[in-house]
């Protein structure tokens, strides 16, 4: 069976080779370039002042609060509502419903805080992609936060003077509805739609009794959203199956949209008490007003740096790789904008960008693996045709394993932090998983298919039949004609030199890593660690001001507050209040306890002193609970454990020849090591654990496991090639040294990209992004270190223990 499969693969490759002619390069390249331009620029039409988007581009991306800013809404109970009846459970229930409604609108970057003292709920979410001016009514309507569904006996015509809809007997509320979905009235001449409701058990019984009563009197049961009657059908039969429908005003395309919105709000749940807007304002980007432009410029510079390096170092395969990388990046942005149609557009945040960065790193890695394999084949005496064929074939197994492990991580994150188990309290993690999953899929398409097609096609041209163009020396190989078979590879000779001896230095590596981790643990307990307000809760101080306040002034405020002492790291944002017409500045920070008057007065004095010309005045102080509390950390724990277990099982299955489960456990140990060292960067750097920290950690989980998988793949190959001719230590050293150029190049290009981000953001004054870019750069270097210096040597240690046990 094994021999049959081998022959089948060879026949397929020869068949593919015959199909790839000279025009293929131009066809594939033009398709990629056209797709890149279309998905980035988009297509829109303009009639007067109205612009219609036909195909969404980068300008249509909905950027997160951290990058572009957005809307800040404070909801509270009406003034005539008995606030003493509102409990923390009521606020938490309302918070959960608002989160669900945000998710139903495909807004996965938001912050929802509760303030028990004032019975308020504070909601922050990003601007719509096409917002050029702020429309508060549209912003609140988008989340539908104030709507309450109710079924009542009778209808508006039964009301007497002075009566309201609340005087009608209540039959059902949104709590009694299990599911709502849109249906089309097939008997209608025009396009007419309705919202079908499936009631839960309590709703079924109540609705059955109500319809029985109404039938006897020929009465109606009206349906209300807040105080608006949207339907009032006459009851003609007793309904006992729990089915009901809302119809009458949903006609045409606009009616369909309204029906969908209503169904989404009903599915979101019924609020425990009516909410009204207490305050409505804009907020500036959390990372600074120039965050988006800085990230964009840094991304362009990073891509140029990577492109120049790939072309100079890998020559012709480098040119092909750059084209493929452009297509991969365009594909990820296209998925975010909803270009492919399988999903609506989603919000792009810093964690989402981290997923793109990791995917680009995987794309670079896939192209580097194939290019390095082609070089090795040329050095071994293969022809150009044979080197290209074998290079892509042998590089594919490593690409497959490394990408599948990352897919495992991405899918777990999307399941845990997506809508599979209800609205997520941190959809930014879902955003990371989504962009990462799309990026890996695009990597398979571009690095494994498009680059092979283009490279093979180029090799058909006489001017490109020079080994030097593929990374070989000028006389290392002689290309055969297209119809000639490549000579057989020489039998593998046992290496006499295996390169740098990493195994003998394993004790030094373990001691260094252990010392750093122990020191980090000690410093965490002695000095503590800063935690963001989203995870810990804290205080928000709102100030009115006159004049202009930019990033420089906000940094001055941060410095002034820091001089007080015993104040955690603060976040400062600015905006405009539409309820009071004021310019506002919000200072927020994490804290365990409610702020006392002494601390409040100190902070107010510091802020006023920092901005003496802006007439700063404190107009509101709010103590909030964590928006991402224990449930978030439980989700993180579930995701990490599930990822570690599945990764260990996958590695055990795929790498049975080099230890199986033990190899998987070692890979997980290296991952934990990388997370611990990166956490140390935040501790020693005095940086808060926030969404940037989560983005860095998640990126490293995929990045580090990829490095380890590449070494495992070569170790598996060498063991099959040399068997007992080399000791385990020699096999490990040989495998590490063979993959070392790839590891160095991949790490260097990705770290250079992050350094570009750091430099550009620092020069443009967007220093808050540095808490993402600098730790990620260090973490990538740590991931390189653990894969090269720890994974292989630890594997040797396990093999030695196993040998002694079996002796």
pLDDT of residue 666: 93
32 has pLDDT over 90:
yes
Query: Cα(692)–Cα(552) distance, rounded to whole angstroms?
Result: 22
pLDDT of residue 482: 42
578 has pLDDT over 80:
no
pLDDT of residue 737: 93
- 632 pLDDT tier (thresholds 50, 70, 90): low
Q: What is the mean pLDDT of residues 631-644?
A: 78
pLDDT of residue 265: 66
pLDDT of residue 5: 37
User: Concatenated DSSP letters for 457-521?
Assistant: HHTTSGGG--GGGGTS-TTS--PPPTTSPPPPPPPPPPPS---S--GGGHHHHHHHHHHHHHHHH
pLDDT of residue 150: 85
pLDDT of residue 405: 86
Q: What angle do CA 802, 804, 807 make, to 5 degrees?
A: 110
- 6 pLDDT tier (thresholds 50, 70, 90): very low
515 has pLDDT over 90:
yes
Query: Residues 359, 445: contact at Cβ < 8 Å?
Result: no
Q: What is the mean pLDDT of residues 699-724?
A: 87
Q: What is the mean pLDDT of residues 379-398?
A: 88
- 423 pLDDT tier (thresholds 50, 70, 90): very low
pLDDT of residue 192: 83
Q: What's the gap between Cα 165 and its chain centre? A: 45
Instruction: Give me 5's structure tokens.
Output: 């499969």
* Proportion of the chain above pLDDT 90, given as a percent: 16
Query: Cα(789)–Cα(771) distance, rounded to whole angstroms?
Result: 27
- 119 pLDDT tier (thresholds 50, 70, 90): confident
125 has pLDDT over 90:
no
Query: Residues 124, 349: contact at Cβ < 8 Å?
Result: no
How many beta carbons lie within 10 A of that of residue 724, not counting itself?
A: 6
Report the range of poorest mean pLDDT among 183-187, 612-616, 673-677. 183-187
* Dihedral (CA of 608, 614, 619, 625) sign: negative
Query: Cα(693)–Cα(708) distance, rounded to whole angstroms?
Result: 22
Query: Residues 138, 114: contact at Cβ < 8 Å?
Result: no
Q: What is the mean pLDDT of residues 330-350?
A: 79
Name the nearest CA neighbour of 499 among 704, 741, 670, 749.
741
Best-predicted range by mean pLDDT among 87-101, 162-176, 623-637?
Answer: 162-176
Q: What DSSP designation does 270 have?
A: -
Residue identified by tokens 């490593």 is 398
Query: Residues 324, 450: contact at Cβ < 8 Å?
Result: yes
Q: Give the model confidence (pLDDT) of 518-543 as tens digits.
A: 998 998 888 778 777 767 777 888 89
Residue identified by tokens 């599945």 is 646
Overall CATH class of domain 147-270: alpha beta
Which of the two residues, 487 and 749, has the higher pLDDT score?
749
146 has pLDDT over 80:
no
Residue identified by tokens 């957005």 is 70
pLDDT of residue 475: 58
Query: Residues 672, 640: contact at Cβ < 8 Å?
Result: no
346 has pLDDT over 80:
no
Q: What is the mean pLDDT of residues 687-715?
A: 83
- 771 pLDDT tier (thresholds 50, 70, 90): confident
- 17 pLDDT tier (thresholds 50, 70, 90): very low
pLDDT of residue 342: 67
Report the range of poorest mean pLDDT among 126-140, 185-199, 754-768. 126-140
Instruction: Give me 92's structure tokens.
Output: 């938490």
pLDDT of residue 514: 92
783 has pLDDT over 80:
yes
Average model confidence (pLDDT) across the chain:
80
Name the nearest CA neighbour of 174 among 155, 196, 147.
147
Query: Cα(248)–Cα(244) distance, rounded to whole angstroms?
Result: 13
pLDDT of residue 354: 76
* Dihedral (CA of 476, 482, 484, 486) sign: positive
Query: Domain locations in the chain?
Result: 2-19+288-475+508-517+630-806, 147-270, 544-562+574-624
Instruction: Give me 709's structure tokens.
Output: 């998988």
Q: What is the mean pLDDT of residues 57-68?
A: 77
Which of the two residues, 173 and 579, has the higher pLDDT score?
173
Report the range of poorest mean pLDDT among 295-309, 343-357, 426-440, 731-745. 343-357
Q: Give the model confidence (pLDDT) of 215-246 as tens digits.
A: 888 888 888 877 778 778 888 888 888 887 77
Which of the two residues, 72 and 332, has the higher pLDDT score?
332
pLDDT of residue 280: 75
Q: Give the model confidence (pLDDT) of 737-763 as tens digits.
A: 999 988 898 888 888 878 887 887 777
Q: What is the mean pLDDT of residues 477-500?
A: 55
Whole-angstrom CA distances from 76 to 146, 561, 583, 706 are 10, 30, 22, 48
Q: Give the model confidence (pLDDT) of 438-475 as tens digits.
A: 998 999 899 889 999 999 999 999 898 888 888 777 65
52 has pLDDT over 80:
no
Which of the two residues, 90 and 454, has the higher pLDDT score?
454
Which of the two residues, 629 and 90, has the higher pLDDT score?
90
Instruction: Give me 26's structure tokens.
Output: 């131009």
Q: Give the model confidence (pLDDT) of 648-662 as tens digits.
A: 899 989 898 888 888
Query: Residues 343, 685: contact at Cβ < 8 Å?
Result: no
pLDDT of residue 785: 95
Cα within 13 Å of Cα(81), Cβ side? 15
Q: What is the mean pLDDT of residues 685-699?
A: 79
Residue identified by tokens 């997506």 is 418
485 has pLDDT over 60:
no
593 has pLDDT over 60:
yes
Within 8 A by CB and 6+ apart from 222, the residues are: 151, 152, 154, 155, 156, 165, 168, 229, 231, 232
672 has pLDDT over 80:
yes
Report the range of poorest mean pLDDT among 236-240, 311-315, 485-489, 749-753. 485-489
> pTM of the prediction?
0.72
Q: What is the mean pLDDT of residues 328-351?
A: 80
β-partners of residue 83 are none
- 35 pLDDT tier (thresholds 50, 70, 90): very high
Q: What is the mean pLDDT of residues 365-379?
A: 88
* Proportion of the chain above pLDDT 70, given as a percent: 82
């Amino acid at each position: 069976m094994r021999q049959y499969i081998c022959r089948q693969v060879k026949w397929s490759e020869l068949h593919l080779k015959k199909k790839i002619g000279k025009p293929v390069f131009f066809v594939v390249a033009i398709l990629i370039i056209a797709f890149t331009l279309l998905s980035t620029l988009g297509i829109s039409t303009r009639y007067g002042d109205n612009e219609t988007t036909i195909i969404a581009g980068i300008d249509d991306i909905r950027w997160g609060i951290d990058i572009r800013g957005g809307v800040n809404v404070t909801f509270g109970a009406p003034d005539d509502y008995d606030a003493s009846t509102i409990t923390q459970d009521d606020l938490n229930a309302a918070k959960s419903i608002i989160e669900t409604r945000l998710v139903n609108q495909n807004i996965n970057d938001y912050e929802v805080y509760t303030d028990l003292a004032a019975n308020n709920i504070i909601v922050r979410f990003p601007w719509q992609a096409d917002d050029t001016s702020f429309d508060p009514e549209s912003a609140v309507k988008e989340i539908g936060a104030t709507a309450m569904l109710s079924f009542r006996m009778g209808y508006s015509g039964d009301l007497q003077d002075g009566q309201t809809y609340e005087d009608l007997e209540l039959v059902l509320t949104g709590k009694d509805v299990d599911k709502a979905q849109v249906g089309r009235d097939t008997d209608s001449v025009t396009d007419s739609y309705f919202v079908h409701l499936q009631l839960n058990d309590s709703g079924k019984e109540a609705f059955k009794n109500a319809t029985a009563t109404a039938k006897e009197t020929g009465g109606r049961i009206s349906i209300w959203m807040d105080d608006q009657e949207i339907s009032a059908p006459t009851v003609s039969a007793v309904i006992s199956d729990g089915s009901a429908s809302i119809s009458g005003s949903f006609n045409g395309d606009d009616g369909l949209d309204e029906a969908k919105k209503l169904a989404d709000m009903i599915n979101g749940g019924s609020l425990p008490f009516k909410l009204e807007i207490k305050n409505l304002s804009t907020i500036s980007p959390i990372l600074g007003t120039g965050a988006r432009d800085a990230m964009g410029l840094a991304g362009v510079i990073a891509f140029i740096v990577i492109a120049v390096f790939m072309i100079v170092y890998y020559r012709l395969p480098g040119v092909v790789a750059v084209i493929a990388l452009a297509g991969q990046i365009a594909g990820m942005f296209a998925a975010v904008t909803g270009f492919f149609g399988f999903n609506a557009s989603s919000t792009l945040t810093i964690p989402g960008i981290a997923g793109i960065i990791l995917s680009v790193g995987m794309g670079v890695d896939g192209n580097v693996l194939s290019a390095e394999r082609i070089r090795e084949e040329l050095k071994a005496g293969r022809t150009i045709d044979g080197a290209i064929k074998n290079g892509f074939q042998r590089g594919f197994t490593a690409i497959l394993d490394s990408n599948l492990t990352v897919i495992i991580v991405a899918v777990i994150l999307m399941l845990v932090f997506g809508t599979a188990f209800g609205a997520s309290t941190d959809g930014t993690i879902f955003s990371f998983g989504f962009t990462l999953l799309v990026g890996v899929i695009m990597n398979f398409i571009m690095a494994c298919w498009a680059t092979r097609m283009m490279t093979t096609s180029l090799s058909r041209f006489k001017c490109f039949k020079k080994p030097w163009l593929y990374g070989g020396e000028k006389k290392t190989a002689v290309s055969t004609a297209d119809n000639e078979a490549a000579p057989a590879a020489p039998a593998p000779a046992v290496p006499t030199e295996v390169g740098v001896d990493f195994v003998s230095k394993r004790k030094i590596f373990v001691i260094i890593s252990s010392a750093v981790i122990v020191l980090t643990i000690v410093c965490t307990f002695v000095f503590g660690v800063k935690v963001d307000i989203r995870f810990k809760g804290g205080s928000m101080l709102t100030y009115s001001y006159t004049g202009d306040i930019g990033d420089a002034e906000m940094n001055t405020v941060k410095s002034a507050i820091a001089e007080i002492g015993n104040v955690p790291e603060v976040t400062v944002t600015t905006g405009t209040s539409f309820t009071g017409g004021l310019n506002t500045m919000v200072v927020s920070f994490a804290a365990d306890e409610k702020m006392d008057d002494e601390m409040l007065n100190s902070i107010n004095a510091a802020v006023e002193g920092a901005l003496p010309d802006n007439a700063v005045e404190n107009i509101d102080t709010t103590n909030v609970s964590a928006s991402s509390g224990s449930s978030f950390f439980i989700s993180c724990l579930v995701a990490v454990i599930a990822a570690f277990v599945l990764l260990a099982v996958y590695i055990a299955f795929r790498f049975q020849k080099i230890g199986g489960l033990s190899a998987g456990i070692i890979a997980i140990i290296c991952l934990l090591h990388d997370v611990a060292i990166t956490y140390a960067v935040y501790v020693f750097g005095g940086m808060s654990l926030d969404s940037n920290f989560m983005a860095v950690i998640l990126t490293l989980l995929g990045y580090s496991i990829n490095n380890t998988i590449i070494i495992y793949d070569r170790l598996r190959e060498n063991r099959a090639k040399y068997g007992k001719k080399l000791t385990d230590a020699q096999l490990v050293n040989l495998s590490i040294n063979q993959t070392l150029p790839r590891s160095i190049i991949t790490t260097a290009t990705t770290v250079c990209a992050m350094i570009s981000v750091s430099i550009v953001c620092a020069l443009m004054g967007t220093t808050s992004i540095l808490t993402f870019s600098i730790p990620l750069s260090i973490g990538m270097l740590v991931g390189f270190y653990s894969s090269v210096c720890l994974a292989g040597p630890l594997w040797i240690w396990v093999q030695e223990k196993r040998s002694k046990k079996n002796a």
